[in-house]
Amino acid sequence: MSSAAQPDPRLAISPADVTLDAPSDPSSVSQLVCRLHLRDGNSTAVRSEVSHLLRSRLRSASLIIFAGLGLFLVWHIFSLDRFDRAIYVLNFAAHVAATFVIGGIAYLLCSHRDYSLSELRWIEILTFFVPACFFMTLHYSKTTYLIESYGQHPDVAAAWLLPIYIYALFIPNTWQRATVFIGILAAIPVALILLSAATHPLSAELLVEQWDVIVTTVLVMFIAATSAIWGVHTINTLRTEVYQAKQLGQYQLKQLIGSGGMGEVYLAEHQLMKRPCAIKVIRPEKAGDPKVLARFEREVQATARLSHWNTVDIFDYGRADDGTFYYVMEYLPGMNLSELVRKYGPLPAGRAIYLVRQACDALQEAHDLGLVHRDIKPANIFAASRGGVCDVVKLLDFGLAKPLTEIDTAHLTAEGTITGSPLFMSPEQATGDVEPDSRSDVYSLGAVLFYLITGKPPFEDDKPLKIMIKHAHDAPPRPTELRPDLPVDLENVVLKCLEKASHRRYQSATELAEALEQCLDAANWTRESARHWWQGIGQPFDVPELNPRAMAG
């Protein structure tokens, strides 16, 4: 469903079983099977989407019309001897005026100035009726010239098909409003024939003899107008369906930012509060699996119980009318620690300590509430910007979190199934002999710390099973073997976390945090250091513009 392109780190959220891949097609958001009716509170969002879409389409239409008028203006210059001099000057003046007006409209629509929906509707009228006025002048003078010179009514219907179909294809509209607009355009060529007959006696005489001219014009304009209006209705219906497909309760889905075995993650916006957020949904084909739903619900409930600054916030949870489950998380500008190391290499010792200490604080709250995370890994620890502070750690993905005292939840993972990530799992998770506890998270956090300061996990192999065996039986390499400049005190902390026997590790996340605090490099990274680093790589931390402009096609 998504390409292998690297995700935008500003949009990165790493829920359970979700790999962050940028979607190859923004329209993939409509693949979410979630057809909800729009609510009254969303009318502002609808107007906003129509406004951005209308501007985009008007810009395209005005550029096309401007290009067409410009090309025909060149031809008009070389047609001096074909008409009466006075008629030529009038037509040429009208042509130049129409070209410059449409060119000015295109320029304004390409600028950065914002326009309200009512202003755009006036621009819409000018975009189509300024050329229409020129066509009327040209066709009336051409009709008069051909009647006087050749005794023949010209066929003016074909030229009017262009503005009618450009309007129908480009301009988002209701079919009722399109009926008025297109009806006026379709009536103009018929009115031109009648006007010519009313103002020119020879034209009236010829029209009686050549009555098929007006019949043909009426039929062509009627068919063109009817098909164009029906096309507007069809396009508008499809647009509404796509909008509803992007709607999940009070949340407007903006962009698919992650997809995995369990579900999708979307960048979204709350319609009333205009707050950016990330929404995780269960894949429809998974919705019927009780174990998947139970794990999903447990993830929400476990995370919602936590209130620590360094734990990702859960805003909302529910299910759509079609049974789709979803929950809403805070939007996190930044990147996870896996991306951080992959892009910029091993971290300085002080920064690694700074980040892991925060993760310890978040974990300790979970442990105090009887929750074991069981899937600590760099991808589940996020370095974000919150409240103007950089390098704020956010602990993600409690999908495998398991209460220490609630044995009844064991059925949610099949007996003998290994949970967690092989590269960072504890020996007891690898063997399955002992139920993981808080010290298992300490081991995993030590493995993460190893990765942050060396750029590699403690054990590597092509086969996950061999990695698990190494976690269970092999002594990890000393971090200084991979990076000789590392301080010994930090190395000792890492190795104590990675002890095979849980009773030889730090017995709590707080104990690990205190040990890290005693390291000599603990004071070498501060909030100011983090701010300067992020500024140095040019990482924007602004909240993304969550308007439908990016979705407009």
Q: Which positions are catalytic?
A: 375
* Cβ within 8 Å of residue 191, ≥6 positions away: none
Phi (first) and psi of residue 439, to 5 degrees: -70, -20
* Cβ within 8 Å of residue 329, ≥6 positions away: 13, 15, 277, 278, 279, 280, 312, 313, 314, 315
* Cβ within 8 Å of residue 411, ≥6 positions away: 291
Contact, 495 vs 476, CB < 8 A?
yes
In DSSP terms, 383 is beta-bridged to 335, 393
Among 519, 480, 520, 512, smallest CA distance to 496 is for 512
* 38 DSSP 8-state letter: P
- What's the one-letter identity of residue 308? H
Place of tokens 């497909």: 245
Helix then strand then coil, in percent of the chain rounded to 5, is 60, 10, 30
- CA–CA dist 275, 511 (Å, integer): 37
Neighbours of 251 (CB within 10 A): 23
CA distances to 124, 133, 174, 240 from 129, rounded to whole Å, are 9, 6, 19, 28
Q: How many CA atoms lie within 13 A of 213 on its CB side?
A: 24
- CA–CA dist 60, 490 (Å, integer): 60
Place of tokens 């976390």: 497
Q: How many CA atoms lie within 13 A of 198 on its CB side?
A: 6
In DSSP terms, 248 is beta-bridged to 251
Residues in the chain, total:
553
